[in-house]
Chains A and B, each alone.
Chain A
Amino acid sequence: MTGHRPEWPADPVTRWSRRILGFASLLVPIGLRREWRLEWEAELWQLRRPEGNRVRLGLFLVGAFVHGLWEWKEEWRMESFVQDLRYAARALVRSPGFALAALTILTLSIGANTALFSVVREALLTPPPYDDPGTLVVVDVTYGMEDEPQAPAPWSYPRYRAAADELASVRDIAGYAARTMTLTDAGNPAVVRVEAVTPTLFPLLGVGAWAGRTFGDEERDRGAPVLRTLLGHAIWQERFGGDPGVVGTVVTLDRLRFEVVGVLEPGFAGVTGDVDLWIPCSALREVENESFLDNPWNSYLNVIGRLAPEATVESARAEMQAFAAVSWERFPPPVAASRLTPGGDVVPFVSARINPGARASMLVLFGAVALVLLVATANLSGLLLARGASRQREAAVRASLGAGRTRLLRQLLTEGLLLAGLGGALGVALSGIAIDTLGTWLTEAVGTGGGRELQFLDPARIAIDWTVVLFAIAVTAGVGVVFGILPAWQAARVDPASTLRGVRAPAPGFLRARPLSARSGLIVLQVAVALVLLSGASLMMQSLALMQEVELGYDPGGLVTAVYGLTPMDVQAGVDPSTFHLDYLGRVRALPGVAGATLAEVPLGGPTWRTIVLGSEGRPELTPADHLWIRMQPIPEGHFAVMGTGLLEGRGIESTDDRDSEKVIVLSRTAADELFPDGGAVGRRIQLSTPGWGSGVTVVGIAEDQQMAPPGELSGPQGYISIRQAARLETGVLVRVDREATEVTDRLRATLAELNPNIALTSVMSMRDRALTVTARRRIVSALMMVFAAVSLLLVAVGLYGTIAFAVARRTRELGLRASLGADRTSLAGLVLRQGLGLTAVGIGIGLVGASWATRFLEGLLFGTDGIDAHTLVGVCAVLMAVALAAAWLPARRAMRVDPMTALRTE
Chain B
Amino acid sequence: MARALGITTVAILAVLEGRRRYGLDITSETGLLPGTVYTTLRRLERRSMIRGTWEDPEIAERERRPRRRYYQLTPDGVRALDAARHRLQGLADTAFGVARGEEAEA
Contact = CB atoms under 8 A, between A and B. Distances in A.
B35 A42 contact: no
A43 B23 CA distance: 7
Nearest to B61: A4
Interface string A858-887: 000000000000000000000000000000
Nearest to A47: B24
Interface stretch (B4-12, B63-71, B79-87, B97-105): B63-71
Given A6-B66, A38-B66, A43-B22, A63 B38 contact: yes
Interface stretch (A64-72, A590-598, A703-711, A742-750): A64-72
A67 B41 CA distance: 10
B60 A4 contact: yes
Contacts of A41: 66
B65 A59 contact: no
A249 interface: no
A51 to B, nearest CB: 15
A625 interface: no
B69 A38 contact: yes
Contacts of B27: 60, 63
Interface string A21-59: 000000000000001001101110111000000000001
B67 A64 contact: no
Contacts of A38: 54, 66-67, 69
Contacts of B55: 42
A38 B22 CA distance: 13
Given A63-B37, A63-B38, A67-B35, A46 B68 contact: yes
Contacts of A46: 22, 24-25, 65, 68
A35 B23 CA distance: 14
Contact of B35 (A6, A35, A66, A74): A66
Given A38-B67, A39-B69, A42-B65, A62 B35 contact: yes
Nearest to A63: B34
Taking residues whose C-beta sits less than 8 angstroms from the other chain, chain B's interface range is 20 to 34
A42 B66 contact: yes
Given A62-B35, A63-B33, A64-B34, A45 B61 contact: no
A45 B39 contact: no
Given A62-B33, A67-B35, 8 more contacts: A42-B22, A43-B24, A47-B24, A63-B35, A65-B35, A66-B38, A70-B38, A70-B42
Contacts of B66: 6, 38, 41-42, 45
A3 interface: yes
Interface in B48-94: 54-55, 57, 60-61, 64-69
A649 B60 CA distance: 120
A7 interface: yes
A59 B24 contact: no
A66 B61 CA distance: 30
A45 B65 contact: yes
A858 B64 CA distance: 80
B45 to A, nearest CB: 11
Contacts of A45: 65-66
Which 7 pairs between the two chains have the least Cβ-Cβ distance? A63-B34, A66-B35, A63-B35, A67-B38, A42-B66, A70-B39, A39-B69
Contact of A3 (B22, B61, B64): B61
A64 B61 CA distance: 25
A71 B45 CA distance: 13
A646 B94 CA distance: 106
Q: In this complex, which of A39, A47, A59 has the most chain B Cβ atoms within 10 angstroms of its Cβ?
A: A39
A290 B68 CA distance: 105
A60 B37 CA distance: 10
A594 B100 CA distance: 106
Contact of A1 (B23, B34, B57): B57
Interface residues of A, number: 25
Contact of B39 (A1, A47, A62, A66): A66
A43 B68 CA distance: 7
Of B37, B42, B66, which is in contact with the most chain A CB atoms at under 10 Å from its CB? B66
Contacts of A7: 64
* A interface, over-half SS: helix
8 contacts: A3-B57, A3-B61, A39-B69, A42-B66, A42-B68, A47-B24, A59-B33, A66-B35
Contact of A6 (B36, B38, B65): B65
Interface string B16-29: 00000011110100
Contacts of A43: 22-24, 68
B28 to A, nearest CB: 9
Contacts of B37: 63
Contacts of A71: 42
A580 to B, nearest CB: 87
Nearest to B63: A6
A353 to B, nearest CB: 59
Contacts of B60: 4, 6
A403 B85 CA distance: 40
B99 to A, nearest CB: 40
A3 B62 CA distance: 12
Contact of A4 (B22, B39, B57, B68): B57
Contacts of A3: 57, 61
Contacts of A4: 57, 60-61
B101 to A, nearest CB: 39
B34 A62 contact: yes
A46 B24 CA distance: 7
Contacts of B61: 3-4
Q: Identify the interface centre among A59, A65, A67: most chain B CB within 10 Å of its CB.
A: A67
Contact of A67 (B39, B54, B67): B39
A74 to B, nearest CB: 8
Contact of B23 (A39, A59, A66, A70): A39
Contact of A42 (B36, B38, B39, B67): B67
A62 B35 CA distance: 7
Interface string A58-89: 01101111110011001000000000000000
A70 B22 CA distance: 19
A45 B25 CA distance: 12
A866 to B, nearest CB: 70
Contacts of B34: 59-60, 62-64, 66-67
B42 A67 contact: yes
Nearest to B34: A63
Contacts of A35: 69
Contacts of A65: 35
A4 B65 CA distance: 9
Contacts of A70: 35, 38-39, 42
Nearest to A48: B65
B64 A6 contact: yes
Interface in A93-132: none
B70 to A, nearest CB: 10
A243 B67 CA distance: 87
Contacts of A66: 34-36, 38-39
A718 B42 CA distance: 91
Nearest to B35: A66
Nearest to A65: B35
Nearest to A79: B46
B21 to A, nearest CB: 11
A4 B37 CA distance: 28
A612 B67 CA distance: 106
A478 to B, nearest CB: 35
A67 B64 CA distance: 26
A7 B54 CA distance: 19
A74 B43 CA distance: 9
Contacts of A47: 24
A7 B63 CA distance: 11
Nearest to B55: A42
A606 B91 CA distance: 87
A41 B23 CA distance: 11
B51 to A, nearest CB: 14
A814 B18 CA distance: 68
A6 B34 CA distance: 23
A60 B35 CA distance: 7
A60 B2 CA distance: 30
